[in-house]
Structure 1
Amino acid sequence: MKKRALLSVSDKTNLAAFAKGLDALGYELVSTGGTLKALQAEGLPAIPVSAVTNFDEILDGRVKTLHPFIHAGLLARRDDSSHIEQLEERDIDPIDIVVVNLYPFKETIAKEGVSEEDAIENIDIGGPTMLRSAAKNFRDVTVIVDPSDYDSVLAGLQEGTQSVEDRKLLAAKVFRHTANYDAMICNYFIDITDEQDPETYTVTYEKVQSLRYGENPHQQAAFYKEGNVKGASIANAKQLHGKELSYNNIQDANAALEMVLEFSEPAAVAVKHMNPCGIGIGASISEAFAKAYDADPVSIFGGIVALNKEVDEATANQLKDIFLEIVIAPSFSEKALEILTVKKNIRLLETPVDQSPVNPKKVVSVIGGLLVQDRDVASVTKDDVTVATKRQPTEQELEELLFAWKVVKHVKSNAIVVAKGDQTIGVGAGQMNRVGAAKIALEQAGDKAKGAVMSSDAFFPMPDTVEAAAAAGITAIIQPGGSKRDQDSIDACDKHGITMVFTGMRHFKH
């Protein structure tokens, strides 16, 4: 029987060189559409699929390889005499090599304003079917979906060293590829039909890099990203300088980015272990960073800083004197890069911070399953809060309360934030009881707590947090409300002259 290779690709990278190698090895080349033209333009004796099937392409190319002469050639087991007899009876030649990559569905739906019709026409049917047939029969068929595999496959064929295990690895890559492709189509249809909580949840990610290790050196790890990620994202960030990101770097950097996205005015966020150690806003990015640094000049050491405006020379000079793992910003001026790249190990990441992340869902793994929820992008304005106490907040207090509320949303529960003048001055994170978190935040704030405001991510179950706040000099509190004992906290605030507003919304972060 003749040796036959079927080639049908949308990505023609290095295709001609590979096809010439197959031709030199005596393979008959069968192809379709644009791939056929590309091979013939290189002087290769490629023949159309219709010459094999005796059936012309129909339905604008929707049907061309969906034919028994193709799939019997792919699926026939060479070690099964009855399969071979059936091929011979019908004058069908086996297909030994399949080279297919699929219609560019991902690239199509990534285009601005793509129509539903264009998206649907870029759903490949024949390609995945051929890939799955060939991959199922990997013991006899070599299947290639990735141009980066051309050289190794050709070398194996030339040297006669290609093994079943080699073909099995290629088949495994095919099934990952088609699963990824189908998942993107699945999620596109979920989006256009606005379906909530479908009966199955299919996610797909593409590898960015292997990591040296995970949270700890004994844990293996890798970093993956969504296929069409846009906007503000660590997965989409451009690294301008510094060594490779670690697992913990990526976690902290993502937390810092999510926090800085809360602000439109110049803002700076410093993060350690996924909690903010300092956040400041100002008239300039330099002023904002000065406030973030001053909020906790100890904890920022070895931390991650996210900024929502370009890093200029003045800000770079502030950053260069501190040991930082990462600086994230929408851009860096030439002078800033000149200053910061002197530091060998600091990572500089560039990503837009004026767009919210595209994916509206947050996925968290548990043993044997996934939790999927909407991202917590909700917030409140002055008009949304209600004053629960006798004393109304001043305009300045209300502004500071709303600032503190934006921050506490990103602090691990139980969470308390103390703020003053567009700056955090105390953060209590991840405590088992709320008053414990308050004591940590107030202790950090020290004397600065006098005249400051406090935010809480959830309601006060009892008035002890108010009493601690009053003792430290807090004048205003923002919290969700909704406790059966709200009145106890309201009474405590009234007793101490503290104004307290309710948001009606909590921000648990586990």
Structure 2
Amino acid sequence: MKRALLSVSDKTGLTEFAAGLLARGFELVSTGGTKKVLEAAGLAVTGVDEVTGFPEMLDGRVKTLHPRIHAGILAKRDEPAHMAALAAHEITPIDVICVNLYPFAETIQKPDVTRAEAIEQIDIGGPSALRAAAKNSDSVWAVVDPADYEAVLAGLDADDAALRRQLAAKVFATTAAYDAQIAAYLDPEPFPETFTPTYVKKQSLRYGENSHQNAAFYAVPNPPKASLASGTQLHGKELSYNNIKDADAALAMVNEFTAPTVVAVKHMNPCGIGEGETIEAAWDKAYEADPMSIFGGIIALNRPVDLATAEKMHALFLELIMAPAFDEDAFAVLAKKKNVRLIQIQLSDTPNVPHLETVSVLGGLLRQESDAAIESAADLTVVTKVQPTPDQIKSLLFAQQVVKHVKSNAIVVAKDGQTLGIGAGQMNRIGSVELALTEAQQKKNFAGAVMASDAFFPMDDCVEYAAKHDIKAIIQPGGSIKDADSIAMADQYGIAMVTTGVRHFRH
């Protein structure tokens, strides 16, 4: 009789799978809780201790770690010496190993979990049995995922060797990810000598940045709540590669603000950000900041979407709208457009705590702490003769929050909680200044606008250009060997300038 060993933490589909094995002439061998479930379902099952002749011990830490189990898994069926050794020791080959691992990742997510509790959820026998079966996949079925049960039963009927090899690869990927999560928990060093990230495919994408590029979206096993990976899509067609990148950027921006705020993003840069007393007022500011570029944009709000705001958004073509919630009547309005993606995402309770960012480069990757720095009035140093007014300081700090999310070289012109012009990604800083001010000066409320720069001015031409185009206050980190020239230029034109000492490059 063929033999199958079942020992699972996740009991989903277990009895149906076991019944399918019995119907195909398998003897079932099992452990502890799995055995009880099978017996309760009226299925014939043999205990592991009956096979090994040795009781489970050490509070269940030792169950399947025995030659009568592992020899039965690892023996090469086409190697006479192996089969003779099994016969000599009266060991029955094991043809199916169905194991899923202790829920380590779920355990460490629980609040106030102790180290001892986490350690007990490190599976030893499970990975050992699975790896043995995967190594011997020419003969043995290694099953780690309940989602594969139906395919395995069909594969047994067809003796599907290709499926066995596919399942073996899945086992090694699963155990590698499992070990990586344990290693990260035991040694939370952010920059270890060996970095083994773990991701799970969340979605196959139609294509990547362009239609000729293949792509997929992967998520960490337990993504943070303020992330696209943990959001819930309520409406619209599936996300694209570019949607995901833009949405991620928009979330990072909107999460910076505590007042009602709307962020509009195009190509990973903000095209308009508005802050207001209500979310509708914030939308008005974001839209008016750049009514042309917002077309086809990605929108993020840090308040629930109400009907008035939804009606205004509905009048435009927008790719995606994200918010903590949608009022029922607002959702009904927005859902009239079948393609607009509506996603509910909770924002972070601790937006200014750094997290780790990872980007790929050819042959490797870069990893860094996120730029969580947010300047306050206390961080500003006035370096000019003219002092900024309280209203200017407020606008400068708003512009500073925005500029850190704009691709370098970055310049933001703003006033009263609204971006008026944004210069992004230029190869020289004066180019970004010119772009931002060309856009800003078209706004009817431009008078009294301020300017933020993500990095220092290498020379005084940026300050001179800003002064000649009616900028009244500037915020920048300082640190150039020619700071004195920029400060002197500001004094010449009566501009207030403050420095922060903190650069905000974003590449």
TM (normalized to structure 2)?
0.98
Aligned equivalent of 1:67: 66
Aligned equivalent of 2:94: 95
Aligned equivalent of 1:257: 251
Letter of the aligned partner of 2:80 in structure 1? Answer: S
Aligned equivalent of 1:165: 162
Letter of the aligned partner of 2:161 in structure 1? Answer: V
Letter of the aligned partner of 2:57 in structure 1? Answer: I
Q: Are 2:294 and 1:294 aligned? A: no
- 1:243, distance to aligned residue in structure 2 (A): 0.5
Aligned equivalent of 1:336: 330
After the TM superposition, which of the residue ranges 240-249 and 145-154 deviates more from structure 2?
145-154
Aligned equivalent of 1:175: 172
- SS of 2:71's partner is helix
Distance 1:496 1:253, change over 3 A: same
- The one-character-per-residue Cα deviations of 1:255-309 (angstroms, maximum 9, x if unpaired) are 1110000100100000000000000100000000100000000000000110000
Task: Give distance in 2, aligned partners of 1:139 and 1:454.
Answer: 67
Q: Are 2:56 and 1:57 aligned? A: yes
Counterpart mapping for 1:272-311 below 5 A: 272-311=266-305
- SS of 1:235's partner is helix
- SS of 2:480's partner is coil
Aligned equivalent of 2:394: 399
- 1:359, distance to aligned residue in structure 2 (A): 8.0
Task: Give distance in 2, aligned partners of 1:458 and 1:351.
Answer: 32
Counterpart mapping for 1:211-250 below 5 A: 211-250=205-244
Aligned equivalent of 2:503: 506
Letter of the aligned partner of 1:87 in structure 2? Answer: L
After the TM superposition, which of the residue ranges 113-122 and 302-311 deviates more from structure 2?
113-122
- 1:187, distance to aligned residue in structure 2 (A): 1.7
Aligned equivalent of 2:131: 132
How many residues align structurally? 504
- 1:185, distance to aligned residue in structure 2 (A): 1.2
Q: Are 2:424 and 1:425 aligned? A: no
- 1:57, distance to aligned residue in structure 2 (A): 0.9
- The one-character-per-residue Cα deviations of 1:171-215 (angstroms, maximum 9, x if unpaired) are 011111111211211222233xxx242101110111111000000
Q: Are 2:116 and 1:121 aligned? A: no
Counterpart mapping for 1:189-228 below 5 A: 189-191=186-188, 195-228=189-222
Task: Give distance in 1, aligned partners of 2:398 and 2:272.
Answer: 13
Query: Which of these residues, 373, 376, 381, is aligned with residue 381 of structure 1?
Result: 376
Task: Give distance in 2, aligned partners of 1:79 and 1:460.
Answer: 74
Task: Give distance in 2, aligned partners of 1:77 and 1:275.
Answer: 58
Aligned equivalent of 1:312: 306
Aligned equivalent of 2:460: 463
Aligned equivalent of 2:34: 35
Aligned equivalent of 1:18: 17
Preserved CA contact (<8 Å) 1:261 1:356: no
TM (normalized to structure 1)?
0.97
Task: Give distance in 2, aligned partners of 1:240 and 1:112.
Answer: 29
- 1:156, distance to aligned residue in structure 2 (A): 2.6
- 1:68, distance to aligned residue in structure 2 (A): 1.3
- 1:452, distance to aligned residue in structure 2 (A): 0.6
After the TM superposition, which of the residue ranges 86-95 and 247-256 deviates more from structure 2?
86-95
Letter of the aligned partner of 1:30 in structure 2? Answer: V
- 1:230, distance to aligned residue in structure 2 (A): 2.3
Aligned equivalent of 1:146: 145
- 1:42, distance to aligned residue in structure 2 (A): 1.2
Letter of the aligned partner of 1:482 in structure 2? Answer: G
- 1:355, distance to aligned residue in structure 2 (A): 2.9
Task: Give distance in 2, aligned partners of 1:163 and 1:311.
Answer: 52
- 1:447, distance to aligned residue in structure 2 (A): 4.9
- 1:166, distance to aligned residue in structure 2 (A): 1.6
Query: Which of these residues, 435, 438, 452, is aligned with residue 443 of structure 1?
Result: 438
Preserved CA contact (<8 Å) 1:231 1:355: no
Give me the CA root mean square deviation.
1.2
Unaligned runs of 5+ in 2: none
Task: Give distance in 2, aligned partners of 1:116 and 1:156.
Answer: 41
Letter of the aligned partner of 2:201 in structure 1? Answer: K
Task: Give distance in 2, aligned partners of 1:335 and 1:223.
Answer: 31
Task: Give distance in 1, aligned partners of 2:53 and 2:355.
Answer: 49
Percent of pairs with identical residues: 60
- SS of 2:44's partner is coil
Letter of the aligned partner of 1:293 in structure 2? Answer: Y
Preserved CA contact (<8 Å) 1:275 1:411: yes
- The one-character-per-residue Cα deviations of 1:238-258 (angstroms, maximum 9, x if unpaired) are 001100000000111111110
Letter of the aligned partner of 1:101 in structure 2? Answer: N
List 4+ stretches of structure 1 deviating above 2 A.
354-359, 447-450
After the TM superposition, which of the residue ranges 256-265 and 23-32 deviates more from structure 2?
23-32
